[in-house]
Structure 1
């Protein structure tokens, strides 16, 4: 399937690509962006080569930051956003106030249009969130705003969110990709089906998507704010990392992500490419499906946690990139518990717990992981370490989209994954990963349920006192650790390989690619 928007624009892009076509180091990749012809074009085409494709382009159905990076802040925008310091800033809303514990009012901009020419107003905001929360639509992201009873139109440019209970992190959710405002025409056209042609208010306009190959965006020349510096953006799917890096060296691409730790030295030694690094909100972890035997027994989960020698993984697999984690919250996230202790390496305790659980000689199980070098390397280290307590660990490496699909369905026993936390608030982590209502596609791949933790998370959502919220999240994290639902690995560092002719690129702590200010130096 190839999704297109605007035949005229597509013809222009194809004509440009015809002019700049050159030899490629990768099959199906032929865009030569660092040529004299391209350098003469104002703005130029930014090419980003990525490990995997988006699973879809509908922000109300996305389950990954990988997909959201294509649309969030580029095609779609929210009422509020985040500045370079991750602080909440006005975006499509000029201002807001909390009228009372359960009512938030937003004053909207009156100079914005959607890409299809439809005016942005209060009715568009209402239509967006009505669709998100409609049970008939069945959005897996509805859970993050389940406390919204009504989005009320006060006048053309004033809207209120009426909540069923106080919800402290509301602004942080509205600033994430779930808060992106969709054109009412798209909502009318697609209804409850996934939107294949995203239509928002952002600085880039969707051009086309060829699944498994590439997504094209064009500069929005009518954008209400500061316009993008490049004319076009192409996100290309290039699974092989050495090929991605080579494409920057040869001028066929400008940015390659993600970048593995094992390739950092190669990139740093290059005369044309450099490493981008920044600490993220998220963490990497080893998880258990607690509904699957033998992982329905907490003693088995604790035994494995004691059998993992994490320092050697941080050093050997990650070359000390990203500090060792003690929680599924990154240290920069509101609600992080700095004093919590993860399980220490103790083989004798691990063997004792396995014997108590009825597995004195161990057992055989399977771990799934996505096809990234570090994850595969980590899985192999785990395989070796768990032999020490008699566990035979089989490793199943899955393409990213398949990994997500299996995780959503719970078709696994153990897994390696990460949670990037789109909002910087503990609620996004705790509710999505641990609340009973979030099983599967909402984020709770552990399929874990604990009534006490559910209550702590729900109370923290409504608590207005931020110190009390911190205490509630600390208690929840301690209980989750006591139940050994997961094994924390490390705080994620965002890594990418970037051409030295690129200025203005960054990755937000949430993991979104930030390209609105990117420019390409003329050669």
Structure 2
């Protein structure tokens, strides 16, 4: 038997090497606690208030496809078999031990004595019930294909469960550590599955309390938690759409944290003795996407023309104030599988006009560009509108509230859109399969509605390949094909920002932009 044998797998060693080690870059003169001029220690208790731009779209991990929604429940209400530490290494959580028997067989030994928030026991049956629901086609989960390599889950006894795969899958532990791997209450699944979207039931350190739609979601400390209890009594996620209001609330003490910080406010934060800025390079990417299945953007020459007409450097400097870095592909340099060898189409107005004429649009056309209502995204849309006007393309900007935006791109009612993809695992499969595989069209993540059988095959080969260098080459090949098909225009590799006041201690963001609240205290 090979206890924790996964560490010897080359693929996972590569993941460890390439994954981001999340770190805070402070601002101003801070002491070791991370807060400016405030050395008092935090105490137990208190209500933490997190202010956010938009409400969650849902709280059922089997249907959540965006990180802002997952952020409410991931490792707070729900837990996973394994999880990431600060350095993005895999560590035990609901499973305290595991072994890879062969390429298709993984065995997990579970923690004992854990109960769900509804009193039902956590055991091997609960694990099977949760994953069976996710993988059942009748459930209709957009997460299904992310874990579609799991062919069977076998309950050995209460504390031992075996995962059988249909094919080798190198990053299995990383996907099990993500939000998709959350283990839901079997009682809730059997008795009231439809309520899980609004009333999550897990084993985590926080218990769901209430959700006032469009206003706030409240979690309370789980007093019966099986592990180390959180220090705060509760956390409220409040919806505050106005950027300036969120910042003012944190500065006044009415709120404590916001993980959605406009880059235009960095100087104000740095100049305040009450505000602190947390910065960390992320695993996410931002891009201009094309709906390749609908006219007129089913025309590859038109997509290429637009690609040549977008000056990406101007967006990074002018809109983002150099927060984040210029992307070359839809995969962050911090993600395993990234390559610098695939480069996007350069800014070339003459080439853009030439291709526009070849596409049959030399007399111009109108295109709709969809974005959510985040300030920077709207600014990016306006810059692109101006740039494309220079080649005779008239852009109509459509701004939607975040939930409506997600719904629109999931249903394919858009033409061109500003999108972002947050990698939750640190592995390239999470980008390539979810964004570009034909099985992921729509809600799972392929909002380009892109279908290429050759790309599908390469992505599938990469999933099953255990040799890290071969996987790297496969991802490079798929990304080159995606470039040739002009599916998207890469814009930015994320740098995640959060602002918090001096009342908060031991807060951090991980590389996927999840709020880590396990050790937070309030002064």
Partner of 1:115: 117
SS at match of 1:389: coil
CA distance in 2, matches of 1:505, 1:40: 11
- Pair 1:293 & 2:295 matched: yes
SS at match of 1:441: coil
- Pair 1:69 & 2:91 matched: no
Partner of 1:459: 461
Q: Which residue of 57, 60, 67 maps to 1:58?
A: 60
Shift of 1:193: 6.1
CA distance in 2, matches of 1:187, 1:387: 52
SS at match of 1:248: helix
Partner of 1:129: 131
Given the two structures, how large is their TM-score scaled by the length of structure 1?
Answer: 0.91
RMSD: 1.3
SS at match of 2:188: helix
Partner of 2:438: 436
CA distance in 2, matches of 1:199, 1:383: 45
Partner of 2:28: none
CA distance in 2, matches of 1:107, 1:256: 37
Shift of 1:361: 2.1
Shift of 1:223: 1.3
Native 8 Å contact 1:230 1:520 kept in 2: yes
Shift of 1:271: 1.6
Shift of 1:228: 0.6
Native 8 Å contact 2:285 2:494 kept in 1: yes
CA distance in 2, matches of 1:375, 1:240: 14
Native 8 Å contact 1:238 1:244 kept in 2: yes
Q: Which residue of 319, 330, 333 maps to 2:332?
A: 330
CA distance in 1, matches of 2:186, 2:99: 25
CA distance in 1, matches of 2:91, 2:44: 30
Given the two structures, how large is their TM-score scaled by the length of structure 2?
Answer: 0.91
SS at match of 2:100: strand
CA distance in 1, matches of 2:81, 2:426: 17
- Pair 1:219 & 2:221 matched: yes
SS at match of 1:404: helix
Bigger Cα displacement from structure 2, 105-114 vs 188-197: 188-197
Q: Which residue of 468, 471, 489 maps to 1:469?
A: 471
Within-5 A mapping of 1:236-385 = 236-385=238-387
Number of residue-to-residue matches in the alignment: 483
Higher relative contact order (CA 8 A, sep 6+): 2
SS at match of 1:285: strand
SS at match of 1:280: strand
CA distance in 2, matches of 1:40, 1:161: 42
Bigger Cα displacement from structure 2, 345-354 vs 267-276: 267-276
Shift of 1:516: 1.1
Shift of 1:339: 2.0
Question: Which runs of no fewer than 5 residues in structure 2 stay unpaired?
Answer: 1-40
Partner of 1:418: 420
SS at match of 1:440: coil
Native 8 Å contact 1:281 1:333 kept in 2: yes
Shift of 1:169: 1.3
Q: Which residue of 79, 82, 87 maps to 1:80?
A: 82
Cα deviations by residue, 1:199-230 (Å, 9 ceiling, x for unpaired): 11111111111111111111112212221111
SS at match of 1:116: coil
